[in-house]
Amino acid sequence: MQSPDRREELLERAYRRGYALRRRRQWTTTLATLAVVVIVGTGVFAVARPSDDHTLSVVPTTTTAPTTCLVVPPVTQAVDAPRDVADWSIGAPVVGSAHLWTARSALDVQAVHDSNVWRLKFPWFTRLPFGLPQIDGRRIDGPGTFHSDVNKATSPDGTDWVASSLEFSEPGCWEITARYYDPTLPLTFRVEIGAKETALEHALRRFGVVVNAAPPSAVDLGDAKFCGTETRSVGPESAVNEAGRRCFREAFDTHRPAVFVMVEYTVEGDPIVTIYRSQADGAIDKFVDSTQDKFGQRDWQGATCGRLAIASSSSSPNIVSYGFAAKDCSPFTTVSG
C-alpha cells in the first residue's frame, strides 16, 4: 500500500491533470433544479373537495427565525374527542376539530432526510364524510418548497384514515395547514424539520454524502468546531474557503477539536470528500469518502496524522492562503459505517 504522503501527492497530480483538461472544455450555462421525490401510494382515492396532490413553491415571509418553532393546536384528550376519533387514536390525545384530526404524538416525529428532501410520514383522520385533505406548507425562516402526497389507508379493524407524506426541501421552521370539508376550519401547526442535524451533517449531505451510512468517527461533530467546507473545481461550484482554513489551522495550533471539509471533483465530475479533524492531543484524523467516485475504491478510508504542514504561497503560485496538508500519517485503512 502506498504511503499517505505519496497517496496525497498522486491525488494532487490527478486533480491538476483534471483541472487542465477541464479548462479546455467549453462551459455552458446550467440551471439548478430542485428534485422533489414523490412517493405515490396505491391506495384508493376517495372523492373530496381538496386536491389529493399539491406542490407549493414558497418565498420567505420573514428574514428572522422565530425564537421557538413548535406551535401545537389545543390538545384534546381522547375522552373528550368524538367517539370515532378516539377509537382511531386508540385512546391517545389528538388535535383538530369537526371533520379533520391528527394524533398529537405525530407532531413530535422527526423527519427523515432522503434523496435531498426531508420526508415526514403523517396520519390524518377525516370524518362525516371520509375524504382526503388538502395540505399546504410554507417555511417560516427562509425559502423552500413543500409537497404533500395523501392516500387512503385502512386499519385492521376496517377504519379508514389518511396516510400522507410531507416533503420539505430544506431544514427549518415550517408551518403546515390542512383543510378538509369546511375550509373555514383549517388545522394549522408548526414543526422544526431537521432540528437535530448538525452543521457538519448538513454540509456533507449537500455533497451527496450518505451520512447515516458513514463512519460516525468521521461525521459526528461532537464537541468539535465546524470550520466549513471548500470545493476544488474549475466549475461555478469552486470556492476557496480561506476563513475556514484559518479556523482549522488555529484550532490545530491550540489543540482544540475542529473539522474542515474539502471536496475535490474527478475529471468525470464525481465528488471525493475529505474530512480533516484536529484532536485535543495534537493529532489529525483524515477521512476520505470515495463512495461516489465511479472509478475509485468506492469506500471510506481513514488515517491518523502527526502534523499539519503549512503550505507557503511563496513556494508555489497555486497554493492558496492558509494552505495546509496533513503529514506523517498512518497507512489508510477502510473505515466502516
The model's pLDDT over 288-323, given as tens digits with 9 standing for 90+, comes to 999 999 888 889 999 999 998 886 544 444 445 678
Q: Which has the closest alpha carbon to 15: 264, 248, 227, 181?
A: 264
- For 53-193, CATH gives 2.60.40.10
Alpha-carbon distance 238 to 261, whole Å?
A: 13
Alpha-carbon distance 117 to 91, whole Å?
A: 33
Give ranges for CATH 2.60.40.10 in the chain.
Answer: 53-193
Alpha-carbon distance 31 to 141, whole Å?
A: 25
Buried b (16+ CB within 10 A) or exposed e, 25-55: eeeeeeeeeeeeeeeeeeeeeeebebebeee
For 68, the 3-state DSSP assignment is coil
Among 113-122, 199-208, 234-243, 287-296, where is mean pLDDT lowest?
A: 234-243
Identity (one letter) of the amino acid at 87? D
Report yes or no on whether pTM surpasses 0.85: no
- In the chain, the percentage of residues whose pLDDT exceeds 90 is 50
Q: Does the structure show a pLDDT above 80 at 243?
A: yes
